[in-house]
Amino acid sequence: MMQPTRRATLAGLGLTIPALAGLSACGGGTQPSGGGGSPSSLSVWALTGAKQDTYEQSFNAWNEANPDNEFSMEFFANDSYKEKIRTAIGSGNAPTLVFNWAGGTLADYVANGSVVDLSGKVDDVLGRTIESIGQVGQVDGAQYGVPNNDTQPVILYYNTALFEEHSVTPPTTWDELMTAVETFSSAGITPISLAGQSVWPELMYIQYLTDRIGGEGVFQKAVAGEADAWSDPAITSALESIIELVDAGAFGNAFGSVSADAGADAALVHTGQAAMLLQGSWVYGTFKQDAPDFVADGNLGFLNFPAMDGGAGDPANVVGNPANYWSVSADADPEVQELAIQYLNEFNLNQEMVDSFLAMGAIPAVAGLEDSFAGLDDEDFLSFAYDMVLNAPHFQLSWDQALAPAPAQELLNNLSRIFLGEIQPDEFVTNMNATLDA
């Protein structure tokens, strides 16, 4: 989900994974009374979902060991969190630990003095994480974030029972994917579940298609801010392929009302209403949590995104998130910052967290996990995800995280309009090129 000599490049950041040795989005805890963090006390916000229990266990362990310096915890759905943290950072009311995706967002935090330089202060936690994934938390060579969970490639999930019932081949090429779309659509089954209301899942299509058609360098030009970078023919071809999917009924007629935050896209698959789902590795935990029998009975298959005939991109390339990251708020009092750093070194991605992530089918961004999957309930998925990442010549960071916040939002807005049929590829290209001049 490599031979030891293969190298994978982390998109847009100019980083490589050299000879990776091992790779692997409310409840307990004290809840804050206000709408943000307090400079004089420890606080943390993170995402709801399958990993919430692991975060809670980790911070509760800290709280038990440090009763005079407890973390308050609050958890939010993905979209709600992104809106809330943007407001909190801007108002100087951020939690002590800032959950983020690195990339352009972290660079923006650094440029605005919102997070502290952790260089030389988090060597313990970095010493147990995969070096190159730790490097993604750097901005201009200084460490501003540390990994806090698993490596997260985007995977094509499928309902094996539906594929067997309708004699459909799991698609490894674009032509096979389109054949599957036609077969399931004719049978009254939504071919591919898509959480269009959330919009960001739509990014996974343009990312993979652009990479498969034009290779890893296409998006790198946009990240670098090159003039007319969005005019690359591979991007236009990717958009045309998306329109082909929409016109073929790949996503049904109601994808604009489906939300990823509630796991509604995964639910369509495990209830047999949809055949496939392109989503991050984190959704495996959602399947396990919401439909354990479906997973245990072997009804969930998984693939890398299909190859494009004649495409310049390597079909083993992967898009997604190397991990999520903790940064420390610059608004916190110095003594509170030091306590947060102590937590990062002593509790973040320690053995207890690693075991918890593995138990849910997630691969922590921790070195030396080669022998950790054997005998686990999710051994097949873990081995697949491990191999997928380690065999990837290139691992591209999600575009909305690699870009700065303003162009990332424009990307989401324009891509949503492509899926809804409101604009054509040439308009998308013009609109996105305008962000390079802003």
- Whether 44 and 96 have beta carbons less than 8 Å apart is answered as yes
Residue 255, C-beta contacts closer than 8 angstroms, at least 6 positions apart: 193, 194, 195, 196, 419
Is residue 168 located within the same domain as residue 283?
yes
pLDDT at 33: 34
Q: Do the domain assignments include residue 108?
A: yes
Check residue 273 and report its DSSP letter. Answer: S
pLDDT interval class at 23 (50, 70, 90): very low
Tokens of 67: 């009763």
Is residue 330 located within the same domain as residue 405?
no
Residue 277 has pLDDT above 70, yes or no: yes
Rg (CA), the chain: 21
What CA–CA distance (Å, rounded) separates 392 from 55?
29
pLDDT at 30: 35
- CA separation (Å) from 218 to 242, 277, 278, 437? 17, 25, 21, 18
Q: Do the domain assignments include residue 378?
A: no
- Whether 432 and 410 have beta carbons less than 8 Å apart is answered as yes
Mapped onto helix, strand or coil, the DSSP state of residue 158 is strand
Residue 357 has pLDDT above 90, yes or no: yes
Model confidence pLDDT, tens digit, residues 102-136: 998 999 999 999 999 999 999 999 999 888 789 88
- CA separation (Å) from 132 to 63, 112, 141, 188, 215? 30, 25, 13, 45, 22
The mean-pLDDT minimum among 64-78, 246-260, 358-372 falls in 358-372
Is residue 172 located within the same domain as residue 257?
yes
Is residue 220 located within the same domain as residue 280?
yes
3-state helix, strand, coil split of the chain in percent (to 5) is 45, 15, 40
Mapped onto helix, strand or coil, the DSSP state of residue 240 is helix
- Whether 223 and 402 have beta carbons less than 8 Å apart is answered as yes
Q: Where are the alpha helices (DSSP H) in 216-321?
A: 217-223, 233-247, 264-270, 283-290, 292-296
Q: What is the mean pLDDT of residues 395-419?
A: 94
Q: What are phi and psi of 203, to 5 degrees?
A: -60, -35
Closest of 33, 62, 59 to residue 44, by C-alpha: 59
Q: How many residues does the chain have?
A: 438
Is residue 58 located within the same domain as residue 205?
no
Model confidence pLDDT, tens digit, residues 174-184: 999 999 999 99
CATH number, position 221: 3.40.190.10
Mapped onto helix, strand or coil, the DSSP state of residue 85 is helix
Cα 353 from chain centroid (whole Å): 19
pLDDT interval class at 392 (50, 70, 90): confident
pLDDT interval class at 438 (50, 70, 90): low
Tokens of 437: 């001049």
Element (H, E) at 222: helix 217-223
Is residue 270 located within the same domain as residue 417?
yes
pLDDT interval class at 3 (50, 70, 90): very low
Q: Do the domain assignments include residue 188?
A: yes
Element (H, E) at 214: helix 203-214
Is residue 55 located within the same domain as residue 117?
yes
What CA–CA distance (Å, rounded) separates 61 from 433?
48
Q: Do the domain assignments include residue 4?
A: no
pLDDT at 262: 82
pLDDT interval class at 388 (50, 70, 90): confident
Question: For strand 7-10 and strand 15-18, is the pairing parallel, antiparallel, or unpaired?
Answer: antiparallel
Is residue 294 located within the same domain as residue 335?
no
pLDDT at 291: 97
Instruction: Identify the bridge partners of residue 328 per DSSP, sorted by sequence position.
Output: 97
Is residue 88 located within the same domain as residue 203?
no
Average model confidence (pLDDT) for the chain? 90
Instruction: Identify the bridge partners of residue 18 per DSSP, sorted by sequence position.
Output: 7
Is residue 232 located within the same domain as residue 356?
no
pLDDT at 430: 98
- Whether 282 and 217 have beta carbons less than 8 Å apart is answered as no
Q: How many structural domains are present in the chain?
A: 2
Residue 25 has pLDDT above 50, yes or no: no
Model confidence pLDDT, tens digit, residues 281-328: 999 989 999 999 999 999 999 999 999 999 999 999 999 998 999 999
Which has more pLDDT, 325 or 389? 325
Q: Do the domain assignments include residue 10?
A: no
Q: Do the domain assignments include residue 384?
A: no
Closest of 1, 24, 73 to residue 355, by C-alpha: 24
Is residue 175 located within the same domain as residue 107?
no
Tokens of 415: 């891509």
Q: What is the mean pLDDT of residues 315-343?
A: 96
Q: Do the domain assignments include residue 87?
A: yes
Model confidence pLDDT, tens digit, residues 187-197: 999 999 999 99
- pTM assigned to the model: 0.79
Which has more pLDDT, 422 or 34? 422
Q: Do the domain assignments include residue 310?
A: yes
The CA-based dihedral angle spanning residues 133, 135, 139, 143, taken in that order and rounded to the nearest 10 degrees? 110
Is residue 233 located within the same domain as residue 100?
no
The domain of 121 spans 24-151+322-368
Q: What is the mean pLDDT of residues 218-232?
A: 95
- Whether 356 and 60 have beta carbons less than 8 Å apart is answered as no
